[in-house]
């Protein structure tokens, strides 16, 4: 039997490979234990934390030159990865009073496997601490009845909005985030099944189908919807995939059975305000960035009212992030966006948000 014939035996081949590899095993094990080549670790975490802490304190008043310094630090450390324990120590080093429940949610939001990107975490905490801009993210009605395919008023591709909004929040920090929720009583006048409970304007055509429009006796025009977002129902819950932090503000709308409220600012019938305007003014918000569902109704009305507020008292420069919305009637998208632009709303894409935040920080 020749040498080549020996290597036809699987057992002989296995022994040969083992003889070659066993001496090298320690090197393979050591290599596997090392961090991935692209992961940079803080060599001296306390020193780095102290440097960030000293740079953070002077920025509490928000001078433009200090904001630029902070942005530079964010870029410098953006590639560094922290374990969860390191990230907790890192945050506490410059924001000692952060509540534990908020800190845990922040860490959860930024986790990439078992690690957290330091630069992104630092920038987000800086913004959430209200030091770098006067910008609020307003997330409109990302609720199960709109976002889930089995929802009673499902918006096509609505299930994508939670993930896209999460991505936006991971990449950028906002001084505050507001989540609006439709919160209708079961006898709400906008529900098709309820229209007979409310007198129509004499001579008005009776509705035959969902989405028909009626005029009630008081002159209010109303699109009739499937029953949706009934208070405390499963459909009224926020999309389960949507990030919600304890620092987020919630605005409930549509509580009056006699008045719809597409806008997160006020209802359709008599302009009764929600708390949103006061929430924003309390935090000295100057700019609102709006995302959510649905573009052609609740997003549109919210943006229109934000612009109206800005014209009245010098508040809200208003942006709608077009790729982070979906419409009930998607064929109307271009017309809706054009109408919003005519009223002074700026239509942007999610890729533009970073620039807007940087401009807001520099101008503060």
- Annotated catalytic residues are 141, 253, 298
DSSP-derived letter for residue 256 is: S
Instruction: Say how many C-beta atoms besides its own lie within 10 A of residue 137's C-beta.
Output: 27
The C-alpha atoms of residue 179 and residue 353 are separated, in whole angstroms, by 18
The C-alpha atoms of residue 1 and residue 30 are separated, in whole angstroms, by 41
The C-alpha atoms of residue 349 and residue 291 are separated, in whole angstroms, by 10
Q: Where are the alpha helices (DSSP H) in the chain?
A: 3-6, 10-21, 25-33, 45-56, 64-77, 84-92, 100-110, 118-128, 144-147, 159-171, 276-282, 300-313, 333-342, 353-363
- Burial (CB < 10 A; 0-12, 13-18, 19+), residue 339, is middle
Phi, psi for residue 317 in degrees, rounded to 5: -75, 130
DSSP-derived letter for residue 130 is: T
The C-alpha atoms of residue 234 and residue 145 are separated, in whole angstroms, by 8
Q: Prior bond to 287 cis, omega within 30?
A: no
Q: Which residues contact 191 (CB under 8 A, 6 or more apart)?
A: 184, 224, 225, 226, 227, 228
């Amino acid at each position: 039997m020749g040498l080549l014939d020996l290597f036809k035996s699987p057992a002989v081949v296995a022994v040969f490979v083992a003889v070659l590899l066993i001496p090298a095993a320690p090197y393979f094990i050591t290599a596997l234990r090392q961090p991935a080549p692209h992961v940079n670790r803080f060599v001296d975490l306390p020193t780095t934390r102290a440097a960030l802490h000293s740079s953070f304190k002077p920025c509490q008043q928000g001078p433009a030159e200090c904001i630029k310094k902070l942005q530079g630090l964010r870029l410098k450390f953006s590639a560094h990865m922290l374990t969860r324990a390191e990230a907790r120590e890192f945050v506490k080093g410059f924001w000692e009073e952060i509540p534990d429940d908020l800190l845990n949610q922040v860490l959860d939001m930024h986790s990439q496997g078992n690690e957290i990107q330091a630069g992104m975490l630092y920038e987000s905490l800086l913004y959430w601490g209200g030091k770098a801009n006067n910008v609020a993210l307003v997330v409109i009605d990302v609720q199960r009845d709109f976002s889930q395919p089995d929802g009673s008023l499902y918006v096509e591709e609505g299930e994508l909005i939670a993930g896209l909004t999460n991505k936006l929040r991971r990449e950028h920090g906002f001084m505050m985030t507001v989540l609006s929720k439709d919160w209708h009583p079961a006898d709400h006048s906008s529900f098709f099944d309820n229209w007979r409970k409310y007198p129509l304007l004499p001579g008005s055509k009776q509705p035959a189908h969902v989405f028909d429009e009626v005029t009630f006796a008081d002159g209010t025009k109303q699109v009739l919807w499937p029953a949706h977002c009934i208070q405390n129902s499963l459909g009224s819950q926020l999309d389960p995939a949507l990030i919600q932090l304890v620092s987020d503000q919630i605005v409930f709308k549509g509580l009056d059975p006699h008045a719809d409220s597409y806008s997160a600012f006020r209802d359709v019938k008599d302009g009764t305000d929600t708390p949103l305007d006061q929430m924003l003014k309390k935090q000295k918000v100057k700019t609102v960035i709006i995302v959510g569902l649905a573009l052609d109704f609740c997003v549109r009305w919210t943006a229109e009212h934000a612009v109206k507020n800005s014209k009245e008292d010098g508040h809200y420069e208003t942006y709608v992030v077009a790729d982070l919305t979906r419409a009930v009637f998607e064929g109307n998208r271009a017309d809706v966006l054009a109408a919003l632009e005519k009223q002074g709303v700026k239509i942007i894409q999610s890729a533009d948000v970073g620039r807007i935040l940087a401009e807001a920080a520099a101008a503060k």
